[in-house]
Structure 1
Amino acid sequence: MSQEVVENSSGYKQNSKIGSYQWKTLWASTVGYAMDGLDMMILSFTMPLIMAYFSINPAEAGSISTITLLGAVIGGIVFGILADKYGRVRVFTWTILIFSVFTGLCALSPNMETLMVFRFLAGLGLGGEFGIGMTLVSEAWPKKYRSRATSIVAVGFQLGIVLATLSVLFISPAFGWQGVFVAGIVPALLAFWSRKNLEEPEQWLQLKHDKKNKIAIGHLFSSPRTTATTIGLIIATSVQNFGFYGIMTWMPTMLANELGYTFNKTTVWTVVTIVGMIIGIIVFGILADKIGRKPSYLIFLLSAAVIIWIYFQQSTPIVLLVLGGVLGFFVNGMMGGYGALLAEHYSTGARSTAENVIFNVGRAVAGFAPLIIGYISLNHSLSYALSLLSGIYVLSALSFIFLIPETKGKELD
């Protein structure tokens, strides 16, 4: 399909139709973000095997997840800044190469200390995937389909979770946790290959030509209006990540301990919830392009607050199963819009920086979710602790009402 271009107020050419370049960026970014979901669940699913292999306690095992998250947060911020300076595709390729190498080396770890180092370094590469991929797609796709395109990238994360589940199911019985980490290299190499011959977006090339691509983290706070928007978006991404990690970490335990669910039943719940998430992400992307970013977020955020409160009052298995899909639909459906939303608030020279800094600050805040929920559950039930998550979605809704402007149909500067 041929491509037509239009010029925005800054003189940059932007595509108004969808062609092979748009599909290539979408594929590369989706596969890249799938590595994030793959890595998160590989570590979670193989943790019992790792604990037995190194004879470590739960606190020591938890530190592996913590060090990985720390690496992802640092890597996301650093590589987001570098992508604005040196190019989206180039830095995108660096991140997946780093992730691939150190994920594979995890399988060769002779001791806990070495594994921790490799996990931190793998996390560095992993952290850049979200923001750089979302920036690439946002700049490549027409504004009419921008949110829908970034929603497909967000689905990649859920597909990574499914891939991790299959890897652990079929590989770990024969090859242990080491085999699962080695297998994790294969899709990472696919992501690396998918970036081959992919060109930088026209906007970034123009910026480089004008020699204006400087490190621009200060742009996120360049004026009172921009500062307020940045704070609002940090609140929103923090809530998004906090709710997701809190629910996905503790829900299986709650179902097992309070309701007597077996492993098979919790697995079925997980699958239903993930399917709900995928459908929610796709629907959200379409909705955000049709009626706008703010209305879509407000609908999903307030619905998430309601469904979380209702869900954790239930105890009937079939109700929990069906509502699990609804829970996933609203709680994680909003991931379909963050790529476009963040891209539209910042200029080309700071876009990748903004995507990765804001989202990874949110991910850092979310790192406390399992701890806080676990702490509350010491004096109350897990279901009660999880039901309190309802309130944070109201907080995010308020940030959209008072701090985050509407950007539907905005040309990228």
Structure 2
Amino acid sequence: MQSNVLTAADRPARTPLNRNQITGFWAAWFGWTLDGMDSIIYALVLVPALTELLPKSGFTATPAHIGLAGSILFALFLVGWGLSFIWGPIADRFGRTRVLAATIFGYALFTGLAAMSQNVWELAVFRLLAGVGIGGEWALAGTYVAEAWPEDRRKMGAGYLQTGYYAGFFIAAALNYTVGAHYGWRAMFLCGLVPVVVSIFTLLKVREPERWEKIQDKPVQRSPLRTIFNAEYARRTLVNSVLLTVAIIGLWAGAVYEPAAIIQLALKEGMTHIQAVHMASIGTGILSIGTILGCLALPVMAERIGRKGTLAFYFLGMAVCIALGFGWAFYLPNGLDTFITVLFFLGFFGGNFAMFSLWLPEQYETRVRATAFAFNTSIGRFIGAGVNFLLAAAIASSGTLGTPVAYTALAFLAGIAVIPFAMETRGQALPQ
């Protein structure tokens, strides 16, 4: 009797990657890694930066004022992310790699300039402008990998790419543990200038994907932005925007507020300020490890049970972990260890962002893919910014960080209700 079990030799070989695909991936990955590093630097230095800058801006540096100002500045950062939708149509017209290099250069420059801030207003402007670059990098990197990698490898490529953002969290945590703890928050922002090197490398070394080059001779019927709202694409564009809004609302619970929460818990347990900063770095590192594992697991699960079922699983995990972490562990008498333990699982389910790197390119053709990716991610950031203003007001009025953030878990339950309306693309090739 013959066995139906395939041996390793029987399994079809994966398509080998050529030099440009490998070089392009690492350029996109390092850009996304340093994007993540720049994003989380603000969360890690939030307390010391605002403690110094608020008095210079005419405000006392109370926990309530720090929470309020921190939420407003992050909301402005999200507005910058939202404005990054401009990169999509530019990339569909002029190419993925050149525009990708421009986004990396932009967020690196304005993150470095944030080190020169003399008051909260200057810091807010620099974070707004950095957000424009940071928001565009994801859309361009995700589009590039989807188009450049062969069909049998691009799904895992999306998962590999998304690990970069959270590897950036880990790098930022390590920098905060060393550079930030000893040289202060301004030195941390100066570290954000490093991606300039990646942008130059991307511009000089990486060629455009063949998919994009093949469509350049075809006549353009209408603008990409109008196309993603035609009869074919309107529903999926709306649903994708809602789902990304949900994911972004949960972002500050898992990333932006966890360092501040850890610092508060550590100080309450009698640690010094430097020890509390170290604990925030450790907690961010643990969150990052969990998220990297979640990003790697997601493509495998998405191929087995489908895109919609996998995203529902990750959204449910986010809802549970946010509620447990900020609504329960944060208020335990000695809750620091419990809170950090929950962070690992919160990080794993935070890998839901890898789904969009995999899923969004599958729903749009090449001539509008970057525009669709950028628009879907950006509209969620605008709405997320508005929700963050409400969250800031709730933190200020209640005088506590935990409960208002815990309520963001409800957004993921709403997202689960929207998922059935999304487009399932498991088993389908990337559209030309």
Give the TM bin, normalised by the shorter chain.
0.7 to 0.9
Alignment-derived partner of residue 273 in structure 1: 287
Q: Deviations over 1:81-121 (max 9, x none)?
A: 10011111111122222333333344445666555444433
CA-based RMSD: 3.0
Alignment-derived partner of residue 29 in structure 2: 30
Contact 2:85 2:374 in 1 (8 A): yes
Counterparts of 1:138-153 in structure 2, within 5 Å, are 138-153=146-161
Q: Deviations over 1:373-405 (max 9, x none)?
A: 454454596544344333322222222212333
Counterparts of 1:6-405 in structure 2, within 5 Å, are 17-47=16-46, 48-49=48-49, 51-52=51-52, 55-56=56-57, 57=59, 58=66, 63-74=72-83, 76-108=84-116, 115-172=123-180, 175-212=183-220, 215-223=223-231, 226-254=233-261, 260-261=268-269, 262=271, 263=276, 264-311=278-325, 312-314=327-329, 315=332, 318-330=337-349, 332-376=350-394, 378-379=397-398, 382-405=401-424
Output the CA distance in 2 between the equivalents of 1:189 and 1:41: 20
More off after superposition, 272-281 vs 186-195: 186-195
TM-superposed CA distance for 1:207, in Å, is 1.1
Gaps of 5+ in 1: 1-14
Q: Deviations over 1:180-212 (max 9, x none)?
A: 333221233234314422111111111112243
CA change 1:344–1:376 in 2 (3 A) is same
Contact 1:247 1:386 in 2 (8 A): no
Matched residues, number: 396
Contact 1:171 1:180 in 2 (8 A): yes
More off after superposition, 194-203 vs 230-239: 194-203
Contact 2:79 2:128 in 1 (8 A): yes
Q: Deviations over 1:346-371 (max 9, x none)?
A: 11111001111111211222224544
Output the CA distance in 1 between the equivalents of 2:265 and 2:29: 37
Output the CA distance in 2 between the equivalents of 1:154 and 1:305: 21
Q: SS at 2:366's partner residue? A: coil
Aligned-pair identity (%): 23
Output the CA distance in 2 between the equivalents of 1:364 and 1:373: 14
TM-superposed CA distance for 1:147, in Å, is 2.5
Contact 1:228 1:404 in 2 (8 A): no
Output the CA distance in 2 between the equivalents of 1:176 and 1:215: 47
Q: SS at 1:143's partner residue? A: coil
Q: SS at 1:150's partner residue? A: helix
Output the CA distance in 2 between the equivalents of 1:67 and 1:381: 22
Output the CA distance in 1 between the equivalents of 2:238 and 2:307: 17
Name the aligned partner's letter for residue 431 of structure 2.
L
Name the aligned partner's letter for residue 36 of structure 1.
D
More off after superposition, 370-379 vs 82-91: 370-379
Q: Deviations over 1:49-102 (max 9, x none)?
A: 36525713345665544443322321x211111001111111112222233333
Contact 1:249 1:370 in 2 (8 A): no
CA change 1:168–1:255 in 2 (3 A) is closer
Name the aligned partner's letter for residue 312 of structure 2.
L
Contact 2:298 2:355 in 1 (8 A): yes
Contact 1:106 1:181 in 2 (8 A): yes
Contact 1:104 1:184 in 2 (8 A): yes
Q: Deviations over 1:312-336 (max 9, x none)?
A: 4454655444332122212x12112
Gaps of 5+ in 2: 1-13, 60-65
Output the CA distance in 1 between the equivalents of 2:319 and 2:53: 41
Contact 1:147 1:340 in 2 (8 A): yes
Name the aligned partner's letter for residue 329 of structure 1.
F
CA change 1:313–1:103 in 2 (3 A) is closer
Contact 2:362 2:431 in 1 (8 A): yes
Contact 1:42 1:180 in 2 (8 A): yes
Contact 2:44 2:259 in 1 (8 A): no
Contact 1:246 1:369 in 2 (8 A): no
Contact 2:308 2:422 in 1 (8 A): no
Name the aligned partner's letter for residue 236 of structure 1.
L
